[in-house]
């Protein structure tokens, strides 16, 4: 298996030796970056289409080859308990190990499939970090497509980011293997994980994957000290069954902890699910109530105008952060990352830094 140092790419070569590849006796390579664990024959690619077998060795086709790079509010990820109000410099390559029928970024995630294309530009790790610093970012976010499929790019960039005083966050479908999490865990501060349904049939039919590895990866992230926030996009008639949502919310509360944020988002027709209606706002409101009944302290509604976006103290319910759109404003009760009323520490990453800054401004 190539080492991480061997996976570094020359600036003029878009094909890079990949890590997390196990060579088989017949010339095939088993990719163990994600839970598909693709067995890739010579000259073929894995499900993601960006990890390929070249002459019996696993290579990445996208190291340093970005399709998107933007300075975003951290709340857009969404990460509500990670350096609130800060900038996340966000990058992606083409490719994904899921084939979600409702993908909002299908033009880049499914590039090479469905006749979509994704213009690439060379953005090596050092340039990512420099661009993040120039944008005043607090974090670098690996997002838009699935970062696991460009894990070599993530690891190299993340190490340079930490050296520069920046934190790293993932926006991910949560299909990492334990082997991948062992590499990512020491470098990544937080992740927003799409838990798309609590029904394996939904994963198989709509996503092209399985539920169990996502649950295992979520638990594995928390075990490795990665702060986790969970997002579920509710699609009418497909994953909005009340009993299933109760089970999902209870699982988060028990397995990840009651202070784990759950973002419940509204679906709008896109990609291959244009025949469905947008999610009724009432469905989102019921799901938020379901999460709170299951014991979750921080349940947020997404893609809903005037929805539940404020952060309340898990101890006494006092409002600590107010949000409108992607703008976060500290409430008077937030003092150095804790509730000034009851003293409960607000769970997350960088909240003491945010609370201290907010207190100093008042």
DSSP 171: E
The C-alpha R_g of the chain, in whole angstroms, comes to 20
Domains and CATH numbers, the chain: 5-60 (no CATH), 65-308 (3.20.20.70), 310-362 (no CATH)
- Report in angstroms the alpha-carbon separations of 188 from 85, 111, 222, 255, 342: 19, 27, 11, 20, 31
Q: Which two tokens stand for residue 315?
A: 């101890």
Q: How far apart are CA 133 and CA 298, in angstroms?
A: 31
Q: How far apart are CA 194 and CA 172, in angstroms?
A: 6
Q: Give residue 307's pLDDT.
A: 85
Q: How far apart are CA 179 and CA 34, in angstroms?
A: 9
Segments of the chain with pLDDT less than 50? 1-12, 361-362
- Report in angstroms the alpha-carbon separations of 14 from 24, 72, 174, 316, 333: 25, 27, 26, 53, 51
Q: Give residue 5's pLDDT.
A: 39
Q: Give residue 8's pLDDT.
A: 42
- Report in angstroms the alpha-carbon separations of 245 from 249, 253, 263, 283: 6, 12, 12, 11
Q: Give residue 236's pLDDT.
A: 97
Q: Give residue 306's pLDDT.
A: 84
Q: Tell me if 166 sits within 8 A of 140, measured CB to CB.
A: yes
Q: How far apart are CA 131 and CA 286, in angstroms?
A: 41
Q: How far apart are CA 177 and CA 96, in angstroms?
A: 15
Closest by CA to 298, choosing from 72, 77, 76, 79, is: 79
Q: Give residue 356's pLDDT.
A: 61
- Report in angstroms the alpha-carbon separations of 1 from 29, 38, 76, 155, 229: 10, 15, 37, 16, 32
DSSP element (H, E) containing 233: strand 227-234
Rounded to two decimals, the pTM is 0.94
CA atoms within 13 A on the CB side of 266: 19
Give the torsion sign (CA, 315, 316, 322, 324): positive
Q: How many Å from the N-terminal Cα to the C-terminal Cα in the chain? A: 54
């Amino acid at each position: 298996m190539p080492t991480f140092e061997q996976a570094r790419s020359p600036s003029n070569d878009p094909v890079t030796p990949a890590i997390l590849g196990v060579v088989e006796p017949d010339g095939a390579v088993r990719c163990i970056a994600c839970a598909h664990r693709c067995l890739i024959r010579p000259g073929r690619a894995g499900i993601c289409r960006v990890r390929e077998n070249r002459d019996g060795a696993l290579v990445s086709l996208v190291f340093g080859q970005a399709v998107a790079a933007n300075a975003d509010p951290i709340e857009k990820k969404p990460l509500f308990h990670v350096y609130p109000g800060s900038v996340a410099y966000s990058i992606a390559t083409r490719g994904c190990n899921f084939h979600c029928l409702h993908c909002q970024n299908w033009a880049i995630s499914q590039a090479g499939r469905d006749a979509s294309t994704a213009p690439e530009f060379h953005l090596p790790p050092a340039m990512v970090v420099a661009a993040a610093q120039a944008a005043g970012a607090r974090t670098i976010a690996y997002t838009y497509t699935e970062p696991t499929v460009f894990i070599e790019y993530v690891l190299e960039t993340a190490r340079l980011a930490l050296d520069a005083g920046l934190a790293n966050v993932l926006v991910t479908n949560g299909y990492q293997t334990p082997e991948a999490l062992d590499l990512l865990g020491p470098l990544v501060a937080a992740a927003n994980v799409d838990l798309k349904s609590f029904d394996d049939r939904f994963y198989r039919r709509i996503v092209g994957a399985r539920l169990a590895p996502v649950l295992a990866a979520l638990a594995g992230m928390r075990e490795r000290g990665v702060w986790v926030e969970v997002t579920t996009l509710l699609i009418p008639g497909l994953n909005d069954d009340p009993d299933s949502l109760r089970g999902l919310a209870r699982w988060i509360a028990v397995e990840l902890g009651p202070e784990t944020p759950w973002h419940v988002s509204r679906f709008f027709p896109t990609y291959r699910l244009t025949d469905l209606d947008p999610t009724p706002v009432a469905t989102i409101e019921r799901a938020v109530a379901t999460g709170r009944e299951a014991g979750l302290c921080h349940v947020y509604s997404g893609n809903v105008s005037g929805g539940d976006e404020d952060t309340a103290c898990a101890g006494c319910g006092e409002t600590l952060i107010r949000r409108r759109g992607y703008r976060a404003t500290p409430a008077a009760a937030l003092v150095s990352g804790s509730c000034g009323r009851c003293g409960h520490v607000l769970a997350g990453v960088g909240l003491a830094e945010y609370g201290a800054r907010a207190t100093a401004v008042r």
